[in-house]
Amino acid sequence: MCTGRIDPAFIIRAFSNGTDGVFIGGCWPGECHYPMEGNYHALSMVLLTKKLLKHIGVNPERLRLEWVSAAQGIRFAEVVNDVVKKVKELGPIGKGEGIDENGLKFKLEAIRNLLPYMKLVERERLRVPVDSEAAYREFFASDEVDRLFHELIVDPLVMSQIMLLLREKPLSLGEISATLGLNSSEASRYLNRSSRQGFIRFDESQKRFVPVRGEKAGAR
């Protein structure tokens, strides 16, 4: 299967199921068998997913993409052995980062709900104009991409987390702030935004925020 077929949903599902590390091996840049250069698409998705993992507190080194041709059996073995060694050093996912199991599942589910939107953002706003590995890595490490990442992905991710919390039970501003580690001003901003977009509403009878039925978490 071409690495261009790799969907971030596959990666997040693996981590959600308790996989401690994910390794993706693909053709070298410039040697893709398909005209769309699927390996560059894979690189873009992996670099973006690494940013998401780091944001929620999961070590991004748990996800690794390496170029290995079909004729490089020795390199493949060396890379796999190195990946296994690194993952063992990191320890079990979550535990190695100091995140409890329920907290990890919650964060990964919030990402999973956001993925269709994230792929749209990658396609429309985070495209690299030059097909070279160096250009991709430089682009995703830039201050401009960090700004766009927080504006276009982190904010909707927080809203996704809020929706997940409210699907469990109605919550107050203070309860949401404490659970997500936000100050009251930040939480209020996200709640107001979610309310304006029709995802949640404030229930006067309960003095709590509740989700609006039929809306999807993470949409903008």
Max Cα–Cα distance, the chain, nearest Å:
67
Residue 69 has pLDDT above 60, yes or no: yes
**Tens digit of each residue's pLDDT (9 = 90 or more) over 121-152:** 988 998 888 888 999 999 999 999 999 999 99
pLDDT at residue 72 above 80? yes
Compute the average pLDDT of residues 47-59.
96
Query: Could you tell me which residues are beta bridge partners of residue 208?
Result: 203
Report CA dihedral (149, 102, 62, 146) to the nearest 10 degrees.
Answer: 10
Question: For 143-220, CATH number?
Answer: 1.10.10.10
How far apart are alpha carbons 175 and 195 in whole angstroms?
17
Which residue is listed with tokens 């250069």? 37
Q: Give residue 36's pLDDT.
A: 66
Q: Is the pLDDT of residue 48 over 60?
A: yes
C-alpha distance from residue 210 to each of 41, 84, 173, 216 (Å)? 38, 44, 11, 13
More confident residue, 208 or 128: 208
Give me the pLDDT at residue 88, please: 97
Query: For the chain, what are the domain ranges?
Result: 1-141, 143-220
Summarize the confidence of residues 195-220 as an average pLDDT: 80
Q: Give pTM, 2 decimals.
A: 0.87
